[in-house]
């Protein structure tokens, strides 16, 4: 069975922007309160020019890595930002950490599918997605 994006923890460049991580150097915690997982990681950004270096550390997840955040469109450096995935030069607004993994990377690098593409679409996943939508509304 293929791992889906819904099985993963994710980090979103828009979330980082909303919480000030892309405006200035900042240290803070990101917490995931998923239906089946509660995790946290230490974030540290070092901003420069139009982008930032982001370090993510979590001893419980076994994650200790750095990512580059760059303008999505180099011609518009003040506008939307994106992650450079660790082993490609492609830009992504969201990166994923699969269960048991130690690296945040894009959907393609982790070979992830969406629940709708998976053959095991079930009532559980529908409820999981509804809970996830509700959680997003609360933040
Ligand atoms: Zn990738």
Global model pTM greater than 0.75: yes
User: Taking all residues of the chain, what is their mean pLDDT, rounded to a whole number?
Assistant: 87
- Give the model confidence (pLDDT) of 86-134 as tens digits: 766 789 999 999 999 999 999 999 999 987 655 555 666 677 777 877 7
Tokens, residue 6: 């819904």
**Ion ligand 1 nearby residues (CB, 5 A):** 85, 88, 105-106, 109
CA distance 85 to 67: 7
pLDDT-based confidence at residue 9 (cuts at 50, 70, 90): very high
Sign of the dihedral defined by the CA atoms of residues 21, 98, 103, 73, in that order: negative
The reported pLDDT for the residue numbered 121 is 57
Taking the centre of ligand 1 as the mean of its atom positions, its distance from the CA of residue 20, in whole angstroms, is 25
**At residue 48, does pLDDT exceed 60?**
yes
pLDDT-based confidence at residue 35 (cuts at 50, 70, 90): confident
Taking the centre of ligand 1 as the mean of its atom positions, its distance from the CA of residue 49, in whole angstroms, is 24
The reported pLDDT for the residue numbered 131 is 81
Helix (H) or strand (E) holding 17: helix 13-18
Taking the centre of ligand 1 as the mean of its atom positions, its distance from the CA of residue 122, in whole angstroms, is 28
Tally Cβ neighbours within 10 Å of residue 14.
Answer: 12
The reported pLDDT for the residue numbered 114 is 84
Mention every residue, 6+ apart, whose C-beta is less than 8 A from residue 47: 22, 23, 24, 25
- Work out the average pLDDT over 64-74: 91
CA distance 77 to 108: 25
Geometric angle at alpha carbon 48, from 44 and 53, rounded to 5°: 35
- Work out the average pLDDT over 10-20: 95
């Amino acid at each position: 069975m293929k791992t889906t994006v819904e099985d993963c923890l994710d980090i979103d460049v828009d979330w980082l922007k909303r919480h000030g991580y892309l405006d200035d150097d900042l240290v803070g915690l990101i917490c995931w309160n998923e239906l089946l997982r509660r995790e946290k990681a230490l974030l540290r950004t070092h901003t420069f020019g139009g982008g930032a270096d982001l370090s993510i550390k979590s001893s419980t997840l076994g994650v200790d890595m750095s990512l580059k955040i760059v303008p999505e469109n180099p011609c518009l450096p003040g506008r939307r930002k994106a992650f450079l995935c660790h082993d490609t030069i492609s830009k992504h607004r969201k990166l994923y950490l699969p269960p048991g993994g130690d690296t945040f990377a894009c959907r393609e690098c982790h070979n992830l599918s969406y629940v709708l593409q998976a053959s095991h679409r079930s009532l559980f996943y529908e409820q999981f997605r509804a809970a996830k939508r509700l959680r997003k509304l609360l933040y």
